[in-house]
Amino acid sequence: MNTALFAAEKPRQVMICEQQKGMISCQNGKKNDVLNANYGRWGQYTCKSPAMGNVNCRYGTSRELLVNNIVLGGDPCEGANKYLKLKYRCLEYIGK
């Protein structure tokens, strides 16, 4: 049985506001590994907007980086400006 070995960096987190684009990247040929991604709103201070509405709502299955309701599968909290909270790490192949 062949098992690939990877070295993993410490996880990183990005927040991307609704209607914005964001990027995750790893240097020197390392691959990104998405650990989790959630789309919604968890508080008042990230991506401030007049349209706050519900501040505790989310979809837990989102994995996209273009952040809008159409791409991310719907509107988990209608009337509120949302954001994508994404956690990932960089992996480097080190052998088998």
18: phi then psi, degrees, rounded to nearest 5: -55, 140
- Let me know the angle formed at the C-alpha of 20 by 17 and 76, rounded to the nearest 5 degrees: 50
Q: Residues 14-29: pLDDT tens digits?
A: 888 888 888 888 888 8
Q: Residues 36-88: pLDDT tens digits?
A: 888 888 777 788 776 666 666 665 544 455 677 777 778 887 878 788 888 99
| Residue 5 forms part of a structural domain | no
What CA–CA distance (Å, rounded) separates 48 from 58?
16
Q: What is the CATH number of the domain that holds 73?
A: 2.60.120.740
Q: Which residues of 58-91 are buried (b: 16+ CB within 10 A; e: fewer)?
A: bbeebeebebeeeebeebbbeebbbbbbbebbbb
Determine the pLDDT at residue 11. 92
| Residue 48 forms part of a structural domain | yes
Q: Which of 55, 58, 45 is nearest to 80 (CA)?
A: 55
| Residue 2 forms part of a structural domain | no
Q: Which domain holds residue 36?
A: 11-95
